[in-house]
Amino acid sequence: MLNKNDFKAYSCIALLGGTFNPVHKGHIAMAECALRQKKDIEKLVFMPNAKTYYKDGSGVVSGDLRLRMLDAAVGGNPAFDVTDIEVRRGGYTLTVDTLNELKNINPNLKIYFIIGADSLFYFDKWVRYEEILELSNVLVASRESSREELEQKRDDIVKKSGLNSIELLDFEEVDASSTAIRAMIKQGENPGDMLPDGVYDIIMENGLYR
């Protein structure tokens, strides 16, 4: 688990943020994709949020439990780690605040910020999105089926912001989603094939998503 001061030790990291309610194999695949295509990444950091300002927070399990699931999911890969920086800060999570916090800790830190393909389509609605593009290099896990639309949206954001710091990764999508996993568990089904090792055990031990 990385705390704030641990970021002083790195010159280049990648952040994969989200609710992770729960973490699934699609998240892991996105992280592995970024590591393959960006060789300067020293550590890929999974960063669960506290509360997302544009989502209904009902049904989201505690930050501590989401951190436990992430620890189980990434524990076997030395290139991965988890940070509680947003969970511990609390309140509504704004990416721009987190990036500024990390830059204050380590001004020379290069940050890749990874988002899913769907997020790019409303990225310019994020709070102070231009500042995010100034503070980080945004990597989009793009699907081949929507590559053309993603390229157009990227070009629109670059033109509007004047900041050319969005790159599309070549990502082979994994059939997994937190929404589907929660629905299966509620129906008494086992979504184990979508989950990294150890995560299902934590879900069952704590009676989550019932």
Q: What is the pLDDT of residue 58?
A: 66
Domain coordinates in residue numbering, the chain: 4-205
With CA atoms as reference, report the closest residue to 60 among 193, 208, 183, 194: 208
* pLDDT above 80 for 57: no
Model pLDDT for residues 8-36, shown as the tens digit of each residue: 999 999 999 999 999 999 999 999 999 99
CATH class of 4-205: alpha beta
The reported pTM is 0.95
Q: What is the pLDDT of residue 30?
A: 97
**Average per-residue pLDDT in the chain?**
94
Q: What is the pLDDT of residue 91?
A: 87
Q: Is 172 left (phi over 0), alpha (psi -120 to 50) or beta?
A: beta
* pLDDT above 60 for 56: no
Residue type at position 148: E
Q: What is the pLDDT of residue 146?
A: 87
